Chain A
């Protein structure tokens, strides 16, 4: 006789994550609106802590890890308990997870504006916070897998597979990409350099999009869409194909658009065909969700929850078609470094992540508080205003991206660049940036409307802190008969054995990882070295760290591509060997300003940099770059210079032994050279120009860019 057990689901942790998600969502979007406006009105770059270069990573981290992150945990904690028919494994772990995550966010909110950054996208947080992230992620994993272990439902629903894949893969990605050698408590250098660092970073970045922004949300979709529509998912079989297709597209095929280029041509074609084929099952996931609503479209018309989920899924479909398109060489040649990338990101972020989150919140909060949504009309309004916001955000940026790229590539009939001044391509975009800022503000406003609606719902409701539930223990549930099992397919067995499933998923991810990472590891010893490339001088190294601190890499790339339009504009194209000592790499991913890889060899005077950094518009009228006057007044701190040299040497940069001891001396010598040249060129300001200021270091670094690549190496005397 089966023994039915009663137990309770923990709803407090769900509520906590929900509130955190909404609050941080508004904060993150507010920062987004501010930085969007800064591109239109550079005067809005208020001081060092609120300048674009430092705030943009705050925006990305806030919306990804604080807004989306908390929403993921809200949905995972709510749905996992119910799919397992078991309470979360440990209430204390739940609390540690919640407060630990919020602590990480607070540390990010303080450290990023202070310029404590690794510069690596979506991995900017410095090493002590990275360790904290790892610890909290382990807490989450233990809590989650413990719940699976205690489950009373034998088979694992598809949502749980997506959660498993997320937890394992994010752990692997985070650990490998965050390998850093500390210099001080809040400063470190990537153990990887140049090409290797770039490939590890984008192996991480692309998979972070996949396994933080996509797979958890697909899991949530597979749970909340059926819940909201009160009907089962359209096709269970399709969900299996969808899951494995997605895992393979991302962890294997995704970064392979980099590595496939090392394959012989026949294998490249095969790989590309397979990747294209996999778009189908991935879209099948979208259709799985949409077709769940077949025959119920009238409900979509009436119910805001369903509206949000449907548009969310559609945005997912759009973004997952656009993504592979953008990785096609010829398309990428046009889109790379432009606002097209930003538009693509925001279709996914605002459409998929945003709207799915809103749909789930509008469903979940009334359920948790045992009431109706306070105002359904407001929710409908949110939907339409939010959708308008997305369109006004995305469409101008598509236009801007393509326009700018075509302007970069335009030649006159005589064969010279039509727009040799980079700035002309930027000033053209200001109206589009203004429209984008309006779109973002509209989206933010509609989110605030949601927050008010949900808050009113909370106030009128009666919170159900614990939900009573009952189910027989697993051991009391009948196993399928031997005869039945004989016909069983193995995937069902997998669903019954979460440990085995997890291990197999981990193996799949790890094989995928090894097959991708080994070549990256081998790269280090295979980058053809350039005899002319030598390590940065101490002053240049300090200048590079200022470049990193101020977030210059957000707007400036350092990678001249082998296109005629680029070599005509910037100089010789970039070679792998130039970057061997760059810990971390600074190739950048966006050109709001020009590429700087050849900045040191185009004949700019120190004075130009001195004035340009103080006020960019003094040398470049119409520029949207922020002012950096504090560089001229801040004294350069050299108390860590020696330490930086020895850490770099440990990472393989060939500084001579004992160089630390004269590093600061050398730094001062080089600084004095630059300062006296400045004094000669600016006699009226000569008494204000001090050699010990940060601007001198930054000038030294900028004047070094491209020098080694074009340096003459003296031939050795033949014996």
Chain B
């Protein structure tokens, strides 16, 4: 029902087309850029949760509990 209401608005198709185009462009760009990531950087970023700078032993990369 809302479809008929929406279709009756002149030029309404423009908005979802804008969004679809932005959507596809942005996403394709991110996808391509992803291949340009250097391995050292990816490794550094992946390791961040494991090195939280804390000085007490249970937190600094220690094995899981529970």
List residues of A whose CB falls within 8 A of some B CB. Answer: 6, 9, 79, 82-83, 85, 152-153, 155, 157-159, 195, 198-199, 222-224, 226-233, 235-237, 240-241, 244-245, 248, 252-253, 256, 258-264, 267, 270-271, 274, 278, 299, 303-306, 362-363, 366-367, 370, 372-373, 376, 379, 464, 467-471, 487-492, 495, 508, 511-512, 515-516, 518-519, 522-523, 526-528, 559, 562, 573-576
Tell me whether A492 and B16 are in contact in the complex, defined as CB-CB below 8 angstroms, given that A82-B54, A228-B64, A240-B30 are known contacts.
no
- Asked if B19 and A512 sit within 8 Å, CB to CB, the answer is yes
Q: Closest CB-CB distance, B35 to chain A, in whole Å?
A: 8
Interface residues of B in 1-60 (CB under 8 A from A): 1-9, 12-13, 15-20, 22-24, 26-27, 30-31, 33-38, 41-50, 52-56, 58-59
Residues of B near A305 (CB, < 8 A) are 64-66
Residues of B near A511 (CB, < 8 A) are 19, 22
Which of B27, B31, B48 gathers the greatest number of chain A CB atoms within 10 Å?
A: B48
Q: Closest CB-CB distance, B39 to chain A, in whole Å?
A: 10
- Asked if A229 and B49 sit within 8 Å, CB to CB, the answer is no
- Asked if A241 and B9 sit within 8 Å, CB to CB, the answer is no
- Asked if B27 and A363 sit within 8 Å, CB to CB, the answer is no
- Asked if B30 and A230 sit within 8 Å, CB to CB, the answer is no
- Asked if A230 and B50 sit within 8 Å, CB to CB, the answer is yes
- Asked if A226 and B49 sit within 8 Å, CB to CB, the answer is yes
Residues of A near B5 (CB, < 8 A) are 195, 523, 526-528, 576
- Asked if B38 and A470 sit within 8 Å, CB to CB, the answer is no
Residues of A near B26 (CB, < 8 A) are 244, 248, 508
Q: How many residues of chain B are within 8 Å of chain A by beta carbon?
A: 53
- Asked if A262 and B49 sit within 8 Å, CB to CB, the answer is no
Tell me whether A82 and B65 are in contact in the complex, defined as CB-CB below 8 angstroms, given that A157-B45, A256-B19, A263-B16 are known contacts.
no
Q: Which of B1, B18, B55 sits near A574, CB closer than 8 Å? A: B1
Q: How far is the CA of A686 from the CA of B8 in the complex (A)?
A: 52
Q: Which of A248, A362, A518 sits near B27, CB closer than 8 Å? A: A248
**10 interchain pairs (CB within 8 A)?**
A159-B49, A237-B35, A248-B27, A259-B15, A260-B16, A362-B66, A468-B54, A523-B6, A526-B8, A527-B5
Q: How far is the CA of A467 from the CA of B49 in the complex (A)?
A: 15
Q: Which of B6, B16, B42, B52 sits near A271, CB closer than 8 Å? A: B16
Shortest Cβ distance from A573 into B: residue: B1
Tell me whether A157 and B49 are in contact in the complex, defined as CB-CB below 8 angstroms, given that A82-B54, A259-B6 are known contacts.
yes
- Asked if B33 and A490 sit within 8 Å, CB to CB, the answer is yes
Which of A199, A240, A264, A299 gathers the greatest number of chain B CB atoms within 10 Å?
A: A240
Residues of A near B63 (CB, < 8 A) are 230
Q: Closest CB-CB distance, B9 to chain A, in whole Å?
A: 5
- Asked if B12 and A373 sit within 8 Å, CB to CB, the answer is no
- Asked if A467 and B54 sit within 8 Å, CB to CB, the answer is yes
Q: How far is the CA of A261 from the CA of B2 in the complex (A)?
A: 9
Shortest Cβ distance from B20 into A: residue: A271
DSSP majority for the A interface? Answer: helix
Residues of B near A241 (CB, < 8 A) are 30-31, 34
Shortest Cβ distance from B31 into A: residue: A241
Q: How far is the CA of A231 from the CA of B63 in the complex (A)?
A: 9
Shortest Cβ distance from A264 into B: residue: B13
- Asked if B24 and A468 sit within 8 Å, CB to CB, the answer is no
Residues of B near A152 (CB, < 8 A) are 53
- Asked if A261 and B23 sit within 8 Å, CB to CB, the answer is no
Q: Closest CB-CB distance, B29 to chain A, in whole Å?
A: 9
Shortest Cβ distance from B52 into A: residue: A82
Tell me whether A575 and B66 are in contact in the complex, defined as CB-CB below 8 angstroms, given that A83-B52, A367-B58, A468-B55 are known contacts.
no
Q: How far is the CA of A153 from the CA of B44 in the complex (A)?
A: 11
Tell me whether A274 and B8 are in contact in the complex, defined as CB-CB below 8 angstroms, given that A237-B37, A252-B19, A267-B16 are known contacts.
no
Residues of A near B46 (CB, < 8 A) are 226, 232-233, 236
Q: Which of B6, B22, B37 sits near A491, CB closer than 8 Å? A: B37
- Asked if B34 and A471 sit within 8 Å, CB to CB, the answer is no
Shortest Cβ distance from B19 into A: residue: A515
Residues of A near B56 (CB, < 8 A) are 370, 464, 467-468
Residues of B near A370 (CB, < 8 A) are 56, 58
Q: Which of B17, B35, B47 sits near A232, CB closer than 8 Å? A: B47
Residues of A near B33 (CB, < 8 A) are 489-491
Q: Which of A83, A262, A303 sits near B66, CB closer than 8 Å? A: A303
- Asked if A304 and B55 sit within 8 Å, CB to CB, the answer is no
Q: Which of B1, B27, B50, B55 sits near A226, CB closer than 8 Å? A: B50
- Asked if B53 and A85 sit within 8 Å, CB to CB, the answer is yes
Q: Closest CB-CB distance, A642 to chain B, in whole Å?
A: 32
Shortest Cβ distance from A575 into B: residue: B1
Q: Which of B7, B22, B38 sits near A262, CB closer than 8 Å? A: B7
- Asked if B58 and A492 sit within 8 Å, CB to CB, the answer is no
Q: How far is the CA of A641 from the CA of B38 in the complex (A)?
A: 67
Residues of B near A230 (CB, < 8 A) are 50, 61-64
Q: Which of A261, A470, A528 sits near B53, CB closer than 8 Å? A: A470
Residues of B near A262 (CB, < 8 A) are 3, 6-7, 9, 12-13, 16
Q: Closest CB-CB distance, A467 to chain B, in whole Å?
A: 5
- Asked if A227 and B2 sit within 8 Å, CB to CB, the answer is no
Q: How far is the CA of A155 from the CA of B31 in the complex (A)?
A: 20
Tell me whether A528 and B8 are in contact in the complex, defined as CB-CB below 8 angstroms, given that A305-B65, A470-B53, A574-B1 are known contacts.
yes
- Asked if A261 and B54 sit within 8 Å, CB to CB, the answer is no
Residues of B near A159 (CB, < 8 A) are 49
Residues of A near B65 (CB, < 8 A) are 305, 362-363, 366-367, 372-373
- Asked if A366 and B3 sit within 8 Å, CB to CB, the answer is no
Q: How far is the CA of A278 from the CA of B26 in the complex (A)?
A: 13
Q: How far is the CA of A274 from the CA of B26 in the complex (A)?
A: 13
Tell me whether A274 and B23 are in contact in the complex, defined as CB-CB below 8 angstroms, given that A262-B13, A523-B6 are known contacts.
yes
Q: Closest CB-CB distance, B3 to chain A, in whole Å?
A: 4
Q: How far is the CA of A522 from the CA of B7 in the complex (A)?
A: 11
Q: How far is the CA of A157 from the CA of B42 in the complex (A)?
A: 10
- Asked if B52 and A85 sit within 8 Å, CB to CB, the answer is yes
Shortest Cβ distance from A372 into B: residue: B65
